Structure 1
Amino acid sequence: MLGGVETRSVSPVFVGRADELAALVDALGRAAAQEPQALLIGGEAGVGKTRLTEEFLTEAARRGAVVAVGGCVEIGAEGLPFAPFSTALRTLLRLLPGELAEAAAGQEDELARILPELGETPRGPHDEESTARLFELTARMLERLAADRTVVLVLEDLHWADTSTRHLLAYLFRTLARGRLVLVATYRADDVHRRHPLRPLLAELDRLRTVHRIELPRFNRAEVRRQLAGILASQPEESFVDSVFDRSDGNAFFVEELVASQESGCRTGLTESLRDLLLVRVEVLPDAAQRVVRIVAEGGSTVEYALLRAVVRLGEDELIEALRAAVGANILLATSDGDGYRFRHSLVREAVSDDLLPGERARVNRRYAEAVEDDGSLVRAEERLIRLANYWYAANDPAKALPAVLAASVTARRRHAYSEQLSLLERAMDLWDSAPDEVRAGLRPADYTEVYPPCGCDPATTPLQRLDLLAEATVAARFGGERERALKLTKLALRTLDEDGEDPLRAAWFWTERSRLVANLGRGDGWHEIATAQELVKGLPPSQVHADVLVRAAGWGMLHNPGPGNLAAAERAVEYARMIGAEETELNARITYGCLLTDSGDGTTGLAELHAVKDRATELGLTVVAGRAHVNITSQLEAMGRSREAVELAEQGVELVSRSRLLDTEAWVCGNMAESLYSLGRWDEAAEAARRTLRVGQSAAPRGSASARLAYLALARGELTEAAQQLAAAHAHFGTHDRQPQHRLPLYRLAIGLADGEGRIADVRAETADAVAHGFPLGQHRYAWPLLLASASAEADARGLPVADAGRDAALEVLRTAARTLATPVPVWVAHAEYLRAELLRAEARDTVADWTAVEAAVRPLQRPYLLARARHRLAEALLASGGDRDTAADLLRDAHAAADRLGSRRLREDLALLAQRARLPLTAEEARPAAPVPDTDPIEALGLTSRERDVLRLVAAGSTNRRIAEELFISPKTASVHVSNILAKLGVAGRGEAAALAHRLHLFAAPLAPAASPAAPGGRS
């Protein structure tokens, strides 16, 4: 209605920005090839971001793209959760109703948290992964929607974005992998100060190669001249160009304002102040128009016409005339849907709002609040509560603001906008003391919180307390990923409770929350907090809090100190949860109980219990509990040597939890799958499962386990540098405050293997002694047997090194003593015990063919190809050393070499090749084909070493320094150093210790193995 009366202050000619527009248009082409595009457009206020975006959208529409724009809403300190996404998706729903409905099919209730038009928002579930699930569903919906058409999604004014919007945008930028989608976000660069919440996001996105960032500079003088020519429809005077350029400093919006101010008669008295420049055209409007502009400035980024009419209190004709004047002066614009008005530029709105008197601002906001309260249809339903909260807050009315803010926090929670919920709850706590007593007394926990009072009171009748808000805020902070903030809130709550000293149940709840947070943040193991909670609930009547404390205590014991005492604690937790009818809590306790049963040796009963929980949780739709059951069942199956079953169940678990976007649970299941795939010799799949764990894991522990799995693979393949890097990463993830045996023991095992590979036998012994000193708790034999075996193998490989011979007897005794404490409940650990016994004998040069035959027979049925290949290597070595059956030895070597080749284990492959070479046995059919005798090849020469390098390597293997080598061989120390460097390069090792270890492991200087007789010898075999 008013669109044709505005003063022309915008150039019809698009000035500059050719390169930037070309980059945006290029993104359209790339998107058409199913390559999603992500772009950020930044620049100071008024520099031309909106105009560039409009030109791009015009071109996108011309090319047939579907275009949707959403703007971040500056409405209070918190913003409106997901506002730009809701607006843009609403446009897509209007343009592509059938297609969007199909893309959202099956997940409408979850996606309604962002787009309410899709249906009713469910009340739950809520957990730390709720937001991630919502983000994943949104990404998949957009990918499906853009599968057959180019979709351009523009989010404007990112500097005003709420936390949830920023997190969702970052998620989309990182994860969108397919579809013809172009995602563009604009932000005001000059507003992003050092502490602005957008700054970390921009830094994160800068590291993504998939995100293209465009920074818009100011216009130069020539571009300002072209802009003026477009506005004036004639060539401007050069003096005028100079004046405008100097005053605007090349800012496109300021150029427009200077021209418009001059044309509206404000030729004199114009100061250099930006505020005055922005207000000067408002001040020449008629009084009614100025009044309307000031009221619009306080209504938010956009104000609906019906709401404005209710607040302004003018006759409709008078209101329309005032709007006509404001639109005609190019200060206000009608929205694209014709339903409301907004400022043409946010800078003008900010200047007008700042110019209001404090009492005037409060009065205007009160009018807005009263209007929305009287007639909720004046604004969108999903915006009503948050706008009421902000209007009443700005109106300085705590009596009205407190319940409004609390109601808005409930809406934020239901949308999984936990960061906004937390901000609103903190605002409610600020308002708490200033609100009248009668208002606070009328509030009920059931209306405003979902973390119902842990004091055992009826939430429907008990008055809301400030501690209830602290409890709700603690959970909101944890769900929103703000664990540091959650920890501070628990500290504040516990300080308050210490002062009162009259609410032990509520204190126990906060101590239990604190235990979880301390462990997640790596600040400790959480036991002090659990123990405190246990003391607080002693002697109290049955309650949910008491059950939660018992379950958490039993779970802590399972992970940190499994034993009979914790088995009894888990059983008590099950009984207690069952007694109060808390089935979800009971199921969690039964998982702990089942694991402890299995650890104690009753694997059949323990696994049956875990499977029963999994089935019941799935039946009840408790995906979090079902996911935890999958994590623990797969772990226990692997501990029992049933790796193939573990992989099959893990695949089912991944499908279940990934569908619900339980990211940490998915990470744990994938990590367990990686462990079982490693055992089965499916190493490439194991590496991919571990890398998936690193991609999806949100917490430190599953990521640490994934790095450990990658370190195991690298170590087995002989990639020592990679193994060291992954071991360091695992240590960094796990930290030093929560040393769970299931994390600690594998890291010891890796450190031992790495030290062995680098020839550091002293470090092998130190790591072993430290691991044994910390002990092997119940159920940890699954980690202890490989650790002891690795240490024994290192001792055997180092036999003959002078530095290793001293102290060997003591080191072997440590291993034998530790092994006597370990259980062998299933064949896989019986085989490890047999293997360890043989390695200890090999370390003393007392091993026999019979010893290694027993090992190979024990390992053969286990479906562990790497372990079997190593056992066959040792059996073949024993046969050859004793002059035994060479044909059997050759078969063993060929089988082991083929397995090492399939696995990609360079280290084992080289060991086997050198053993075969020393024994003059063929490893492949091609090697066996020639009828002529195998040439008498020296294994040292096969490594490419000269005779002098042979002498040097012998001395290096004996532990000699360069000076000692020089003295022995009558050469200079410098020459000795050169020889050592050449040897390291030829052997492909990193240092002298590793070279010495390789020489001893391959017996390069040992007596030759029994060779094949020559064809002419009596009784010989060809």
Structure 2
Amino acid sequence: MLGDVETRSVSPVFVGRAGELAKLTDALARATAGEPQALLLGGEAGVGKTRLVEEMLAEACRREVVVAVGGCVEIGADGLPFAPFSTALRALHRQLPKELAAAAAGQEDELARLLPELGETTRREHTQHDEEDMARLFELTARLLERIAADRTVVLVLEDLHWSDASTRHLLAYLFRTLRRGRLVVIATYRSDDVHRRHPLRPFLAELDRMRTVQRIELTRFNRGEVRRQMAGILSADPQPAMVDRVFERSDGNAFFVEELACSITEDCPTGLPDSLRDILLVRVEALPEDAQRAARIVAEGGSTVEYGLLLAVARLGEDDLIEALRAAVGANILLATPDGDGYRFRHSLAREAVSDDLLPGERSRLNRHYAQALEADPWLVREDERAMRLATYWYHAHDAAKALPAVLSASVEARRRHAYSEQLRLLGRAMELWDNAPDEVRAELRPVDYAEVYPPCGCDPETTPLRYLDLMAEASVAGRLSGEREHALKITKRGQRLAEAEGDALRTAWFSVQRSRLVSSLGRGDGWAELGTAQELVRGLPPSAVHAEVLAEAASWGMVHDPGPGSLATAERAVEYARMVGEEDIELRARLTLGSLMVDAGDVEGGLAEMYAVKGEAVSLDLPAHVGRTHVNLPSVLEGVGRSQEAVGILTEGIELSRTYGLLDTEAWICDNLAESYVSLGRWDEAARSAERALRIALSPKPRGYGAMRCAYLSLARGDTAKAAEHLEAARDHFGKNDPMPQCFLPLGTIALCIAAVQGRVLDARAEFERAAAEGFPPGTQRYAWPLLRAAAALEADTRGLPAAEPGRAEALERIRKATRGLVTAVPVWSAHERWVRAELLRAGGEDTPLDWAEAGTAFEQVDRPYDLARVRHRWAEALLQSDRAQAAGLLRQAHATAQQLGARPLAEDVALLAQRARIALTDDPPSAAAAAGPALGLTRREEDVLRLVAAGRSNRLIAEELYISPKTASVHVSNILAKLGVSGRGEAAAMAHRLRLFPPSGEGRREASA
């Protein structure tokens, strides 16, 4: 309609920015080569960000690159959820409809939350708040973009991040973190002068600064020469130096202000050059005809962009008059038609803000009211995915509480449907602000079924019961938790619990208490049990209800990881019973999965696994993403715990595929953690390391990162990198926090810490680690973690037998280990094998172990698929056999050595090699050289062996010198050489190694291998 209007305020010459443009085109080239690029372009308003991006996009189009642009939309002070992504995806859909449909295949209902053109979004019944909903949407969006950009270069531009909603920022950060494939360039622009100290974009920018994959470009103002060149382009002539000086002084090098000032000059502005920047922006608007000025004011208040039909309805002008008014505004280069030709926007947002700020207060509210009325009369004037939010914003700024409250609530429902939980939380805050100002008759018409997913837990009919303020607080507390604003959610939850308690609503109070438990745990403020205990007391004696079932299910789930005993089992059984009585299928499935795990812990292995397999089958057949993820984490973990690692791997591999299909990134991290554990058990250590590292890389929450770090710590320790193991151990403890102790966390961490201290020769520290880990005992369900801990503690005492520093407290330590073993069950073969291993280590600690003791342990481990554990047992079994059966001992040593080398278990390989060397046993078919056969252990000279023997006995350099008749300096040199040859960091570690390898048996024991 207005496409033929000429404008001259924009310079046809692209001034400056050569370096910045080179960075953008270089990113384009890198992306074309298959390396995704992420760029952040910042600069003050008017400095030229848009023009720079346009130049880059022009180059992209010349290279036949697919370009999609989306901008954050400002409506009043509110951003639309995911607006730039929706717009950009819509552009891709127009250009590549078949390709985008193929890339979204199978996930159309989820991706329709961003692009409604893909189909209908599935609407779930209620009460199912999935913490991975938003993460799933993010993962699917990232995979969609990767597929689209697999065979073509795509440039995605997201403009005006300073107006972005929190969900848009979260999604953009997710893309920047996870995009690793595809020929994709993502460029985001923002106005730096708007990012004040408390602006929500500020922490987002700080987060991106820590990402090495994000390139940040800041545009500065033009210098005088660049201003002159820009003016020459606008004026089509070289300007007078005095004019350049004045424009440069007034604009301070801001490209947009240079354009406006130059335009004022060319139009012979009657007032001359305006005195203030605001006047610079308003002077040309005020020069328009009255109808054009009115149209500009209406557009300014309607948002970043206003559709033509909506503008026509609000302007209340004849269509011909409106078109003439718009023609004048477009001709003056104040307004522009949108790229799709459907509406109008200001050429620059600074001009819109100036016009909007110039409105009178009554004028602003009147315009918002007209917008809202027009939109109510004809909802199709705007896109369906924008309608609810824009109507809520217009009514809110019209200061009409009666209309604003239901509109804001409807917008909050739409935000929740799109997983825009931060925006839902903000809208619910507005609803609570409007609640008391809205008329009683308006509030009486509101129903939970329309506005609340967390229905009243009192059994009331949500279709007839009026919506309550408490319902809004319940919705807000869940939205806060799901959006990551947990501190805010905790405040709302505490307040809601107090209010529900004051109203005598026990069920709602219990519901809030369950939410507090979750929040306290996720914030690291405690384990959440006190809050769950309160909830159980509140529902005790009340009729069965969804809340009652939820409380029991949460308590059983807590018990499964903190206290897996008979009490937790009984709670899980009641949770299943109550969920069935009230028809809550979701709660029932969760409770049944927990029940199955607890049944296994109680000894009913096959019954418990059968229950868990049944839940898994139902979750997959009913296509329930949350339960699919949960079953593919919990069931394999239980299988691993009872020694069925290969079976666990099969389910975990299936789970990874399903989690990627559903976009469950945090679930995938949990699965990778469990897969790493099973791979370690099966001796597939390289795969275990890759799996643990992936978990660390993709995990969205702290605990899966903690497990990933724990797996890495175990592997580093077993492969001989004690320093790296200590780093991973510390990282795991940081991720887990200190206020939510779970046996499945602190027992394995205690085992690793004990082993690190033992390797470093810190015997007393190692004992202290055992005492801390074992302080609470080992309840049912902790056998899989308890047996390795007890084995490590027993091996510590056996390895340090005869070490002077270890003798004090040694008897007490051994008794503590023996006492702990008496209460542990051995119901499955892997636990029984560990029990025999611990028993043999305890006997070795007293010098009483026999080949038969180790034969029992070795035979037990031969029945289970644990190659590393079997190799360690074979090493000790061979040591015990050296005096009686050298042939069998040699076979065992060769088997153990082969396994250690295959796994890269350097410490075990060295221990086995040293024992074989001392016993004159060849580990390969090649006969050893005479020098090797006769050489001293560990490459030490005879004198260094003497010095090491005294170091192991706890002698200082001075005492070593006196005993060996050498100088203290010479003794010091020998000690340094020994530490270097052994590859240890200190005397304590050297002494621990000597005792572990039995280089110097306690006096009276003799050298068994020498006499063999």
TM bin, normalised by shorter chain, reads: over 0.9
Partner of 1:358: 361
**2:327 aligned to 324, 328, 336, which one?**
324
Counterpart CA distance in 2 for 1:977 and 1:299 is 83
Counting only pairs closer than 5 Å after superposition, residues 498-897 of structure 1 correspond to structure 2 as 498-500=501-503, 502-880=504-882, 882=883, 884-897=884-897
- Identity, % of aligned pairs? 68
**2:153 aligned to 150, 155, 159, which one?**
150
Note the C-alpha offset of 1:3.
3.9
2:1000 counterpart of 1:1005: yes
Check conservation: 1:918, 1:1009, Cα contact below 8 A. Answer: no
Counterpart CA distance in 2 for 1:453 and 1:269 is 66
Check conservation: 2:31, 2:183, Cα contact below 8 A. Answer: yes
2:150 partner SS: coil
Partner of 1:18: 18
Note the C-alpha offset of 1:1003.
2.6
Evaluate the alpha carbon distance shift between residue 102 and residue 661 of structure 1 in structure 2; reply closer, same or farther with a 3 A threshold. closer
Counting only pairs closer than 5 Å after superposition, residues 391-410 of structure 1 correspond to structure 2 as 391-410=394-413
**1:195 aligned to 194, 198, 206, which one?**
198
Check conservation: 1:3, 1:327, Cα contact below 8 A. Answer: no
Note the C-alpha offset of 1:312.
1.2
2:296 counterpart of 1:280: no
Note the C-alpha offset of 1:978.
4.7
Counterpart CA distance in 2 for 1:904 and 1:201 is 42
Partner of 2:100: 100
Counting only pairs closer than 5 Å after superposition, residues 112-127 of structure 1 correspond to structure 2 as 112-124=112-124, 126-127=129-130
1:68 partner SS: strand
Partner of 2:57: 57
1:925 partner SS: coil
Evaluate the alpha carbon distance shift between residue 305 and residue 271 of structure 1 in structure 2; reply closer, same or farther with a 3 A threshold. same
**2:187 aligned to 174, 184, 190, which one?**
184
Counting only pairs closer than 5 Å after superposition, residues 81-100 of structure 1 correspond to structure 2 as 81-100=81-100
Evaluate the alpha carbon distance shift between residue 337 and residue 701 of structure 1 in structure 2; reply closer, same or farther with a 3 A threshold. closer
Evaluate the alpha carbon distance shift between residue 282 and residue 965 of structure 1 in structure 2; reply closer, same or farther with a 3 A threshold. farther
Range that drifts further, 724-733 or 99-108: 99-108
Code of the residue aligned with 1:493 in structure 2: it is: G
Check conservation: 1:919, 1:1012, Cα contact below 8 A. Answer: no
**1:346 aligned to 335, 346, 349, which one?**
349
Code of the residue aligned with 2:991 in structure 1: it is: A
2:259 counterpart of 1:256: yes
Note the C-alpha offset of 1:973.
5.4
2:74 partner SS: coil
Counterpart CA distance in 2 for 1:397 and 1:821 is 69
Partner of 1:135: 138
Counterpart CA distance in 2 for 1:529 and 1:1010 is 61
1:55 partner SS: helix
Range that drifts further, 655-664 or 35-44: 655-664
Check conservation: 1:455, 1:505, Cα contact below 8 A. Answer: yes
User: Can you list the C-alpha shifts for 1:25-76, whole angstroms capped at 9, x where unaligned?
Assistant: 1222222222222211111111100101111111111111111111110113
Evaluate the alpha carbon distance shift between residue 326 and residue 626 of structure 1 in structure 2; reply closer, same or farther with a 3 A threshold. closer
Range that drifts further, 653-662 or 582-591: 653-662
Note the C-alpha offset of 1:399.
0.8
Partner of 2:984: 989
Note the C-alpha offset of 1:147.
2.0
Counterpart CA distance in 2 for 1:259 and 1:814 is 88
2:70 partner SS: strand
Code of the residue aligned with 2:212 in structure 1: it is: R
Note the C-alpha offset of 1:1002.
2.0
Partner of 1:1019: none
Check conservation: 2:411, 2:427, Cα contact below 8 A. Answer: yes
Counterpart CA distance in 2 for 1:960 and 1:475 is 63
Counterpart CA distance in 1 for 2:740 and 2:158 is 42
Note the C-alpha offset of 1:226.
0.9
Partner of 1:954: 949
Partner of 1:470: 473
Counterpart CA distance in 2 for 1:360 and 1:126 is 42
Note the C-alpha offset of 1:324.
2.0
Counterpart CA distance in 2 for 1:48 and 1:528 is 57
Note the C-alpha offset of 1:252.
0.7
Counterpart CA distance in 1 for 2:957 and 2:229 is 76
Check conservation: 2:140, 2:662, Cα contact below 8 A. Answer: no
Note the C-alpha offset of 1:91.
1.4
Note the C-alpha offset of 1:739.
0.8
Structure 1 unmatched runs, 5+: 1014-1022
Structure 2 unmatched runs, 5+: none
Check conservation: 1:9, 1:260, Cα contact below 8 A. Answer: yes
Evaluate the alpha carbon distance shift between residue 235 and residue 774 of structure 1 in structure 2; reply closer, same or farther with a 3 A threshold. same
Counterpart CA distance in 2 for 1:628 and 1:734 is 19
Partner of 2:913: 913
1:338 partner SS: coil
Evaluate the alpha carbon distance shift between residue 249 and residue 798 of structure 1 in structure 2; reply closer, same or farther with a 3 A threshold. same
Note the C-alpha offset of 1:673.
1.8
Partner of 2:340: 337
Check conservation: 2:295, 2:315, Cα contact below 8 A. Answer: yes
2:157 partner SS: strand
Counterpart CA distance in 2 for 1:646 and 1:296 is 61
Partner of 2:236: 233
1:926 partner SS: coil
Check conservation: 1:919, 1:1009, Cα contact below 8 A. Answer: no
2:156 partner SS: strand
Note the C-alpha offset of 1:935.
4.0
Note the C-alpha offset of 1:933.
8.9
How many aligned positions are there?
A: 1005
Note the C-alpha offset of 1:325.
2.0
Note the C-alpha offset of 1:19.
1.4
Partner of 1:219: 222
Check conservation: 1:113, 1:415, Cα contact below 8 A. Answer: yes
**2:934 aligned to 922, 933, 936, which one?**
936
Counterpart CA distance in 2 for 1:315 and 1:453 is 50
Counterpart CA distance in 1 for 2:810 and 2:958 is 27
Check conservation: 2:265, 2:273, Cα contact below 8 A. Answer: no
User: Can you list the C-alpha shifts for 1:431-451, whole angstroms capped at 9, x where unaligned?
Assistant: 111111111111111111111
Check conservation: 2:139, 2:665, Cα contact below 8 A. Answer: no
Code of the residue aligned with 1:503 in structure 2: it is: D
Code of the residue aligned with 2:50 in structure 1: it is: T
User: Can you list the C-alpha shifts for 1:471-508, whole angstroms capped at 9, x where unaligned?
Assistant: 111111222222222211101111222332x2111111
2:336 partner SS: strand
Counterpart CA distance in 2 for 1:450 and 1:347 is 40
User: Can you list the C-alpha shifts for 1:899-933, whole angstroms capped at 9, x where unaligned?
Assistant: 000110110011111111111221122345x7x79
2:32 counterpart of 1:37: no
2:495 counterpart of 1:492: yes
Check conservation: 1:918, 1:1008, Cα contact below 8 A. Answer: no
Check conservation: 2:76, 2:301, Cα contact below 8 A. Answer: no
Evaluate the alpha carbon distance shift between residue 933 and residue 315 of structure 1 in structure 2; reply closer, same or farther with a 3 A threshold. closer
Note the C-alpha offset of 1:845.
1.3
RMSD, aligned CA: 1.9
Note the C-alpha offset of 1:977.
4.5
Counterpart CA distance in 1 for 2:959 and 2:360 is 89
Partner of 2:170: 167
Code of the residue aligned with 2:222 in structure 1: it is: F
